[in-house]
Amino acid sequence: MQSGYPVKTAESALARAVGRERSGWWYCWAELVKARLTSLVLLTTLVGFYLGLSGPVDGVRLVATLVGMALLAGGGAALNEWMERDADALMPRTRHRPLPAGQMQPVTALWAGTGMVVAGLGVLGVGAHGLAAVLGAVTLAAYLGLYTPLKRVTCWNTWVGAVPGALPPVVGWAAAAGSVPAEAWSLFGIVACWQMPHFYGIAWLYRDEYAQAGFRMLPQVDPDGRRTGRQAVLWTSLLVPVSLLPWWQGVVGSMYAGVAAVLGLAYLVTAICFARERSPGSARRLFLASIVYLPLLLVFLTIDKVR
């Protein structure tokens, strides 16, 4: 008993520290607005803005674009958590969020999310460009009005969810250029194709939790994972040529094309391994490959811009 006492005391202290961290106001708000996801939205928006520039950077417009998208993405995330708070309480990976954990009242999240969304659209419309605000509103409507409710209806909700996830770089391009040419939609295609195997890796890893919460992801109707694996391979295969479109359109140079091809093929290999094994380890490797792939690709999109 004595020999185990220090270990138990240390474990209890660690648990209390984690509990305090998760109950702090900063943690609650960061979880409510899904800070990591919002950061990715801002990154893709910034890349779209930069690639859409045809002259010097307008600092005011850039700041308005990023602030507007931060408010829009954070507000949308808060409203999503408000809508899904009961389901979140049923899944171990989400039950620590502020609403299911009882750390924040639902009405607070509702009003905070609504306020951020309205402010974000206003900032985009006034400080960036009207077209950017319209596309931001479409993004929000697709996320909250289509994707979120469809998660309980059909396993093909993932296809719908790829649309709002891939629109931020188009919003950024619209804010910079005031238009959305074919080059902007190439960025949409890249992010949309990237998302699908990313989602499928997560859905396979947490398929039991999603089922418990009532979310109809593809693995719920595909117990052996064969269809999930085929979909992951299909979308990564499509991503390889789609990722080369900015080079073909003359937006970026040949260095980007080489990097995009290598990254795409590596991503494809992990998808093929997942399709063959359909194990937690292969699903986790697919997920990790996805979170390495996109930032690297975006970096080379920016550093190899030719016009």
pLDDT at res. 25: 80
Q: Is residue 13 part of a domain?
A: no
DSSP 232-299: HHHHHHHHHHHHTHHHHTTSB-HHHHHHHHHHHHHHHHHHHHHHHH-SHHHHHHHHHHHHHHHHHHHH
Q: How far is CA 17 from CA 24, 36, 292, 296, 307, in A?
A: 11, 22, 30, 34, 51
- Say yes or no: 136 and 236 in one domain: no
- Say yes or no: 302 and 247 in one domain: yes
End-to-end CA distance of the chain: give it in Å, rounded. Answer: 70
**Domain-ending residue, one of 136, 162, 179:** 179
Q: Is residue 273 part of a domain?
A: yes
Structure tokens at 243: 């990722």
Has residue 7 got a pLDDT over 50?
no
The amino acid at residue 97 is: R
Structure tokens at 304: 């190899």
Structure tokens at 244: 């080369």
CATH number for the domain that contains residue 113? 1.10.357.140
Residue 129's nearest CA partner among 69, 205, 196, 213 is 69
Structure tokens at 21: 């961290």
Q: Is residue 218 part of a domain?
A: yes
**Domain-ending residue, one of 179, 213, 238:** 179
- Say yes or no: 34 and 165 in one domain: yes
Q: Is residue 14 part of a domain?
A: no
- Say yes or no: 171 and 185 in one domain: no
- Say yes or no: 227 and 163 in one domain: no
Structure tokens at 132: 């950017």
DSSP state of 152: T
Residue 67's nearest CA partner among 22, 151, 126, 111 is 126
- State pLDDT tens for residues 234-271: 999 999 999 999 999 999 999 999 999 999 999 999 99
Which residues span the domain enclosing 209?
181-307
Q: Is residue 266 part of a domain?
A: yes
Q: Is residue 10 part of a domain?
A: no
CA atoms within 13 A on the CB side of 60: 4
- Say yes or no: 96 and 201 in one domain: no
The amino acid at residue 249 is: Q
- Say yes or no: 196 and 57 in one domain: no
CB neighbours of residue 153 within 10 Å: 10
CATH number for the domain that contains residue 265? 1.20.120
- Say yes or no: 174 and 238 in one domain: no
- Say yes or no: 173 and 194 in one domain: no
The amino acid at residue 234 is: L
Q: Is residue 6 part of a domain?
A: no
- Say yes or no: 213 and 120 in one domain: no
User: d(Cα 47, Cα 125) in Å, to the nearest integer?
Assistant: 19
Q: Is residue 152 part of a domain?
A: yes
- State pLDDT tens for residues 180-200: 999 999 999 999 999 999 999
Percentage of the residues of the chain whose pLDDT score is greater than 70: 92
- Say yes or no: 66 and 120 in one domain: yes
Give how many domains the chain has, as a whole number.
Answer: 2
- State pLDDT tens for residues 31-82: 999 999 999 999 999 999 999 998 889 999 999 999 999 999 999 999 999 9
- Say yes or no: 105 and 215 in one domain: no
pLDDT at res. 115: 98
**Domain-ending residue, one of 152, 179, 206:** 179
- State pLDDT tens for residues 76-111: 999 999 999 999 999 999 999 999 999 999 999 999
